[in-house]
Amino acid sequence: MVFRLTILGSSSALPTAKRYPTAHLLNANERFFLIDCGEGTQMQLRKYKFNFSKINHIFISHLHGDHIFGLPGLLSTMHLLGRKNDLHIYGPAALEEILKLNRGEEDYLNYFKVIFHRTGHKRKNLIYSGKNINVWSIPLKHRVETTGFLFEEKSMGLNIKKEAIELYSPGIEQIANIKNGDDLILEDGSRVDNNDLTQPPWKIRSYAYISDTAYNPKITNQILEVDLLFHESTFENTHEKLASLTLHSTSRQAAMIAKKAKVGKLLLGHFSSRYKNLDNMLQEAKVEFENSFIVEDGDNFEIKRIREDSIDGFSD
């Protein structure tokens, strides 16, 4: 079961020849979640061969243009492609009015239903709960209402060994009980210990997306020990004062958050177009947190499915 992040855009306010504005796509067990939708997002979805119709949930962190300008065009394209399924959009309250204004005379409601969910920005909220995954909003500190997002798999319980099923042929109810930790009682009354029937559960995989924000150590408890953290890194440390003034972060500050939160891997993005070379930014981050990476448009980061008693679950 796949858990893969694709970087569709990694620039900040201004697109460049090599980088589109911010947009990510998370494939969580074949459920596709679009996170922010900067200008050109639909072009990147086409370039990397993603099916628009499989995107049923879009999460918008805040209403600055480099995070939403791609949304009206994407919705229009979905309409022109004949979309029929409901589309869920999560974001600040004001986004609902923006969606209505952009829809204009071309009323998508005649073709597919857009269901809007207000995220709130004052506390951590559970904003989506599906069969296999929960999504939480995380309040951030920026010039407008802004949230990050935490995507976290649900626990699937213990895993029954294949040989145990072949040997004992348990029924559906017995299987459910075994996965919950019960022993198996055979027809003759004898008991098979649960440890002989099961393997450790799959490790819960998680991805945290920290969009535009000033350095804010208060968020670390909300993203503690996530496998994969994206944290905005608009500026080098030499421009720390500018970062503070504009309520953005430096690469060093992003790495400090990663270190405090004890995350598995840190992804740096949302770069100012003033930097033609990002080597300094990466080195500044690595001083604080070694497992830091500069993202490029089109990069994929997959968290492999492993048992709870395993260690490394990354591939990219």
Whether residue 28 contacts residue 151, with contact meaning beta carbons closer than 8 Å, is answered with: yes
* Pair type for strands 300-303 and 3-9: antiparallel
Q: How far is CA 165 from CA 11, 156, 183, 237, 252, in A?
A: 51, 18, 13, 57, 51
Q: Which of 27, 25, 29, 86 is nearest to 53 (CA)?
A: 86
For residue 243, what are its two tokens? 């970062």
For residues 182 and 186, what is the distance between their CA atoms, to the nearest angstrom? 13
- Residue that has been written with the tokens 């791609």 in this structure: 70
Annotated catalytic residue, options 36, 66, 227, 297: 66
Whether residue 99 contacts residue 28, with contact meaning beta carbons closer than 8 Å, is answered with: no
Q: Has 66 been annotated as catalytic?
A: yes
Residue 90 DSSP class: E
Burial 230-241 (b: 16+ CB within 10 A, else e): bbbbbbbbebbe
- Residue that has been written with the tokens 């209505």 in this structure: 100
Q: What is the dihedral of CA 116, 211, 219, 28, to 10 degrees?
A: 60
For residue 36, what are its two tokens? 């922010």
**133 exposure class (CB count in 10 Å sphere: 0-12, 13-18, 19+):** buried
Burial 45-59 (b: 16+ CB within 10 A, else e): beeeebeeeebbbbb
Q: How far is CA 244 from CA 121, 122, 235, in A?
A: 20, 20, 10
- Active site residue ranges: 66
